[in-house]
Amino acid sequence: MKKVIGVESLSRTYKMKGDKKTALNQISFEVMEGEVFGLLGPNGAGKTTTIKILTTLLLPSAGSVKVLGYDVVKESSKIRDKINFVYGGERGVYGRLTAKEYMHYFCTLYKIPNKEQSQLISQLLELVGLTEATNQKIHTYSKGMVQRLHIARCLINDPKIIFLDEPTIGLDPIGARLLRDIVKELAQKGITIILTTHYMQEADELCDRIAFIKNGEISMIGDPTHIKESCNHLKLFEATMQVYETGKLKEDKYLQQVEVTEIKAPYYSVMFQVEEKQSHLDQLKEYLAKYGDVIKLERREISLEDAYVHHMKDVG
């Protein structure tokens, strides 16, 4: 596979009230052509700074960054017409326009010949499932429809790389599912996608590889399976119980990271973690019995969210 993004020892610092703040501290990674690459981390971790540098909106303080073989500092103009981006939410749309008018406007900005615009717009709106809403005013669109229109807009210049910044934020489950299906289709067409999201299940479903970034550094990088397997040492359990005092259960010092979810009172799903030496099922079942009747207890599989929480546990 061809490398389309190469980042080596990238650092970015800011001056704030006389002090120097490090947003990125010598991070390195690469992205291959056609890959869906996830950049995941808490707010303030450095994701947005990284994206801004990759999209030539911000200069690095140190290190080397190449996108499609071009240096982001010396050859930024050669990068910009080959990439595009979509931000989550409803920013950047003109509500009084129809989708067709909106797309014609951006086709003109991207210098698409007039005779080619109508066919291109029809193809892109069909791709994102908006054909029937072509002549509908954008202010009448749902959030999901607006996001799909953003996707159509970002495809006008036939980009090699698309940056998706929390594309499903605020969407209902159906809208989010439609958008994920579009992302999968774009990836199948060979378009490289850089994805940021706070939805771990979404990242697990879409990403070929993921980088965890915290405090301006990459703490782990790999495919979702590899990342989850790195946490196999964690002893995570889920119990179905008839609980009468959920408050005391949540405050238990023996159990870690207790999550209690009501099924239908007094029945609850209880998820928790214990140390290695405390992980015998019979002993755990006996211990839980002081809080109520244990109907079912089993060790559960590590999810990407579990791995994320584990790797971010020391974030300040």
Instruction: Kindly list the structural domains of the chain, giving each domain's residue range(s) and its CATH number in brackets, ordered by start.
Output: 1-82+190-230 (3.40.50.300), 235-311 (3.30.70)
- At residue 265, the pLDDT reads 80
**Alpha carbon of 122 to those of 110, 147, 210: distances in Å?**
17, 17, 34
- At residue 186, the pLDDT reads 93
- At residue 276, the pLDDT reads 67
Asked whether 307 and 231 are in contact (CB, 8 A), the reply is yes
Taking alpha carbons only, the member of 212, 181, 151, 190 closest to residue 35 is 190
Q: What is the pLDDT along the chain (316 residues), one digit of tens a residue?
A: 799 999 999 999 988 777 889 999 999 999 999 999 999 999 989 999 999 999 999 999 999 999 999 999 999 999 999 999 998 766 678 899 999 999 999 999 999 999 999 999 999 999 999 999 999 999 999 989 999 999 999 999 999 999 999 888 888 898 899 989 999 999 999 999 999 999 999 999 999 999 999 999 999 999 999 999 999 888 899 999 999 888 889 999 889 889 999 998 889 999 999 876 666 888 899 999 999 999 999 999 999 999 999 898 876 5
At a CB cut-off of 8 Å and minimum separation 6, what does 126 contact?
Answer: none
- At residue 171, the pLDDT reads 86
Q: How far apart are CA 37 and CA 304, in angstroms?
A: 15
Asked whether 213 and 26 are in contact (CB, 8 A), the reply is no
| Strands of the 19-32 sheet, one edge to the other | 19-32, 3-16, 62-67, 70-71
pTM, 2 dp: 0.88
